[in-house]
Structure 1
Amino acid sequence: MREIARRQDVESIAGWLLGEAKRYPDVGGADVFYVAGVGSSLSLRDGEIEEDSSGLSCGIGLRSLLSDGRQGVAFVNGLDRRMMESLAEWSVHNARTSVADPHVGLSDLPDQCDAPNLDVEDAAVYALKREDRLREAHRLHAMVAEKDPRIVSVRSAFWHDGWGESFYANTNGSHLWHRGTGVGCGVTLVMQDGEDMEMGGSGEELRFLEDLRSETVAALAVEHTARTLGGRPVPTGKYTLVLSREVTAALLDELGELFLASNVQKGRSLLKGKMGSVMAPPCLSIVDDGRLPRQLGTAPFDGEGMPTGRTLLLDRGRVAAFLYDLRSARIDGARSTGNGTRGISSVPDVGATNLFLLPGAASLESLLRDARQGLYVTELLGLHTVDTVSGEFSLGAKGVVIREGSLAEPFAGVTMAGNLLEFLERIVAVGEDLKFFGSTGACSLVVRDVSVAGS
């Protein structure tokens, strides 16, 4: 199925809704956000089908803005005309009960459809059938089950694919469409050796079917699980840490929250008042780019109809920029960076697109060799508990001990505690091995003199 609704029908409905909202004399403007998609998933548990589903969804939201900046949203799932007859009434009602905000407004750029080819739609994904998903899930299961005799269960071998599209229009003349595909697979397994047991896995999600390597996913799932099987605490002390790309990606997701202008303005970020300040060594730079070809966070426009783009957030260790939607940009007297995010039921806020580190020049092997003694960290536990205002954290960690520049025995059951700013200041090297995990791109990192509490 390629279309949930014809585009001309969606555009007609959007125009009608905008017109209905403008009939209210206190409405200064309005916008419509439509999303639709088709998705299919198939997963096996120890070789037997556990989930096999396909579905479609669509919905549309109308936001009304009053002249004093009050705004309200109403939405429906589906495009039944009868369901939408009261959307304008409810969105205006919700706006009238909200708080006035002089910074709220609409994009006044009528058309941003001149974006370059972002290469986010793969015809091969549309052609996938149930038998393809079943075959790939069984293939994943078989590749994992035969790799190591210590595997006692392949808890999940899954495959999913689909596509989604969005449409944005407002009373200033914006009229924008975007569509993209996605495909992914993953494995979760349990490995046992004597009394030691470990659960682990690996997964991948991409835009294009040809870029997906299920054999690599299977191999990494087994490798990552085997590496930490039987881990024991290391002695308490200070260590050089080499962070795996997966760990760095999870850390970067938390760091990205610090650069959202709305968080800074609300005092929810430790970067408040630190524009231009140095918070990390010159080897560390962070970028957000909504127009990277083939990436999951890529789109020509954001949830407010503003063009996406590239923003250098951390420039060789120095805070260089924040991410803005229209409202937060007006508060700071800045320009939107095209980072307005929203759903059909919400007002816009700020969010990252494709957030990633600029890679260094060293391979993982050379980083381990240069570290000589330390810990290769493959998992951090509790990152969601990091205090984004004070920077304080206490995290569990597991991975592999580094001895004489090589990976040795596994470790687990240790805790790292400290301050995020101090942690960033101790970064001494960034690897060349940039890889995207979803819409977050990460490299291996080396951090010196980190306190670890173990045995």
Structure 2
Amino acid sequence: MHGKCFRRGTKMDEQRVISVAASALGKRCDSFELFFLRKNGISVEARGKKIESLVNSNESGLAIRVVKDGRLGFSYTTALSEDGIRDAVRIALASSVASPLEQAPFSKVFEISHIEWEARDLSWSGIGVEKKIGLALQMESVALSTSPLVSGVKKVRYEDEDRYVRIVNSYGLDLSFESTIYECSALVIASNGDESKIALDFGFSHTFDGLKFEDVARNASLKAVSLLGGRSVKSARLPIILESSVSAELLEVFVKGFYGNNVYKGKSKVADLLGKKVYHTSLNLVDDPLLKDGYRSSPFDGEGTPTHRKYVIRDGTIENWLLDNYFGHLLGTESNGSSRRDTVLEPPSIGISNLYVIPGHATSDLFREMWNGIYITSVYGVHTINPVTCDFSLGAEGILVERGMKTRPVCGIVISGNLHDIFGGDILIGDRLVFFGNVGSPEILLPDVSISGC
């Protein structure tokens, strides 16, 4: 249910785009929403001391949603000429015919919270391409020099984006927000004889100078080296500690059970448990769209609803679903600012902003409490986790822990269980909160997990 046109015509500025679309819609629908997006950026990939890829991107587009006779229509265009916009309006109106009848209204005009930090780097346009290329090449150099066991760099990547969003609707809402993000990653290979291991690390910042690219390269190298010489263990039920990146990967799947669309459609194991204590008391899961320096912070969501910090789980009790206008309406409540949209190509949908577990105990306490077990540093096959039940069976690597101390690498194991069950057990949460994009977690001790080994 979408349209796209690429007619020739003069590309217009943002205000003219909004005006032409609003005028073309006029009184032909009950209500409308316009989403204007402009993104500019660059990505650089390096390997073998040379640049493998350099891509400049400059994108602008308009998405249109309409409600006509109680039905929702959608269209978009990247052809920002009068012809392109009028065609997109026509398609949006026509597409509403096939839509379900019951639709929630678009966001009304609210007072919007202000982000108390500068989300846009004003120096963005003054940072030359040569400097960005140099950063990528330097990352590779740092990775290779970290250890003699580092045999190669599969890829280092630098990427930035300056993003501007404006949402206007027929209720009088007119909001805009601009932000800048810089990202880098390193995929490093360590080898010893015939054995090779590969590891990834990632970093981001809202300022170029804040990007800790050397740390990213070094951490990826050290992680790859630490996995060399790994052996399996005997199958057993053992305590494990999830390294922060592993916890974050699992949380990204786990949280989908709290999306309003999945709750409403019965695709969540906890759909009937709002307000009930389901998990360990130490588990506090927060989504904070206003988080300082957050990867996906914004004062309003993809529909223009004000955002705010909210507990998904507080002290083990399910406190909130993540809701947009439509599923908030269907569940008998209202949006809590959880609509996300990163493109004009699709309508908004429910998602997270900056999701994280609130830190707890000193990390050393986790190792002391576990005493004997495995520190899990990588898992494979997260995409195979059942998003409804959260049953999982994942290949894993890590480090054996004996008498509270890391001793040797472990590989060739499979960890199995259910995310709802393990987070309901006697877990212990560490104090080092680390973000991987828009999901953050400390290390988490799980006291009893099925390990399949040799």
TM range (shorter): over 0.9
- State the secondary structure of the residue aligned to 1:53: strand
Q: Tell me if the contact between 1:165 and 1:180 (Cα under 8 Å) persists in the aligned partners.
A: yes
Equivalent-residue separation in structure 1 for 2:90 and 2:43 (angstroms): 38
Unpaired runs of 5+ residues, structure 2, are 1-11
CA drift of 1:345 comes to 3.0
Mean Cα displacement is larger for which, 187-196 or 77-86? Answer: 77-86
- State the secondary structure of the residue aligned to 1:424: helix
Residues 156-181 of structure 1: CA distance to partner in whole angstroms, max 9, x if unpaired?
A: 12222221111100011011111000
Which residue does the alignment assign to 1:98? 99
Which residue does the alignment assign to 1:16? 20
Q: Tell me if the contact between 1:381 and 1:396 (Cα under 8 Å) persists in the aligned partners.
A: yes
One-letter identity of the residue aligned with 1:98 = S
Mean Cα displacement is larger for which, 369-378 or 389-398? Answer: 389-398
Equivalent-residue separation in structure 1 for 2:87 and 2:224 (angstroms): 53
- State the secondary structure of the residue aligned to 1:119: coil
- State the secondary structure of the residue aligned to 1:89: helix
Mean Cα displacement is larger for which, 396-405 or 416-425? Answer: 416-425
Which residue does the alignment assign to 2:239? 240
One-letter identity of the residue aligned with 1:338 = G
1:77 and 2:81 are equivalent in the alignment: no
Equivalent-residue separation in structure 2 for 1:419 and 1:438 (angstroms): 24
Equivalent-residue separation in structure 2 for 1:116 and 1:197 (angstroms): 45
CA drift of 1:118 comes to 4.2
Equivalent-residue separation in structure 2 for 1:38 and 1:427 (angstroms): 47
Check 1:215–1:419 CA distance in 2 against 1; reply closer, same or farther (3 A cut): same
Which residue does the alignment assign to 1:265? 264
Q: Tell me if the contact between 1:119 and 1:293 (Cα under 8 Å) persists in the aligned partners.
A: no
Q: Tell me if the contact between 1:242 and 1:444 (Cα under 8 Å) persists in the aligned partners.
A: yes
Identity of aligned residues (%): 24
* 1:35-50 equivalence runs, <5 A: 35-50=37-52
Which residue does the alignment assign to 2:63? 61
Q: Normalization by structure 2: what TM-score?
A: 0.94
Residues 64-119 of structure 1: CA distance to partner in whole angstroms, max 9, x if unpaired?
A: 11132x11111111422222221211100001122212x4211121x545624342
Which residue does the alignment assign to 2:89? 88
Unpaired runs of 5+ residues, structure 1, are 1-7
CA drift of 1:139 comes to 1.3
* 1:438-453 equivalence runs, <5 A: 438-453=437-452
Equivalent-residue separation in structure 2 for 1:51 and 1:13 (angstroms): 33
Mean Cα displacement is larger for which, 226-235 or 419-428? Answer: 419-428
Give 1:31's match in structure 2, choosing from 30, 33, 38: 33
1:358 and 2:358 are equivalent in the alignment: yes
Which residue does the alignment assign to 2:176? 177
Mean Cα displacement is larger for which, 125-134 or 395-404? Answer: 125-134
CA drift of 1:383 comes to 1.7
Equivalent-residue separation in structure 2 for 1:339 and 1:145 (angstroms): 42
Question: 4+ runs of 1 displaced by more than 4 Å?
Answer: 111-114
Q: Tell me if the contact between 1:126 and 1:162 (Cα under 8 Å) persists in the aligned partners.
A: no
Residues 327-346 of structure 1: CA distance to partner in whole angstroms, max 9, x if unpaired?
A: 11111221211111233233
Equivalent-residue separation in structure 2 for 1:114 and 1:398 (angstroms): 43
Equivalent-residue separation in structure 2 for 1:236 and 1:193 (angstroms): 27
Q: Tell me if the contact between 2:64 and 2:89 (Cα under 8 Å) persists in the aligned partners.
A: yes
Check 1:118–1:170 CA distance in 2 against 1; reply closer, same or farther (3 A cut): farther
Q: Tell me if the contact between 1:185 and 1:214 (Cα under 8 Å) persists in the aligned partners.
A: yes
Equivalent-residue separation in structure 2 for 1:277 and 1:50 (angstroms): 52
Equivalent-residue separation in structure 2 for 1:14 and 1:452 (angstroms): 57
Which residue does the alignment assign to 2:347? 347
**Equivalent residues, number:** 442
Equivalent-residue separation in structure 1 for 2:274 and 2:401 (angstroms): 37
Equivalent-residue separation in structure 2 for 1:419 and 1:55 (angstroms): 41
CA drift of 1:316 comes to 0.9
CA drift of 1:42 comes to 1.4
Q: Tell me if the contact between 1:22 and 1:30 (Cα under 8 Å) persists in the aligned partners.
A: no
Which residue does the alignment assign to 2:53? 51
One-letter identity of the residue aligned with 2:270 = L
* 1:130-141 equivalence runs, <5 A: 130-141=129-140
CA drift of 1:257 comes to 0.7
Residues 45-82 of structure 1: CA distance to partner in whole angstroms, max 9, x if unpaired?
A: 121210112121111011111132x1111111142222
Equivalent-residue separation in structure 2 for 1:201 and 1:436 (angstroms): 14
- State the secondary structure of the residue aligned to 1:86: helix
One-letter identity of the residue aligned with 1:19 = S
Equivalent-residue separation in structure 2 for 1:434 and 1:189 (angstroms): 24
Equivalent-residue separation in structure 2 for 1:95 and 1:347 (angstroms): 13
Q: Tell me if the contact between 1:22 and 1:28 (Cα under 8 Å) persists in the aligned partners.
A: no
One-letter identity of the residue aligned with 2:414 = T
- State the secondary structure of the residue aligned to 1:17: helix
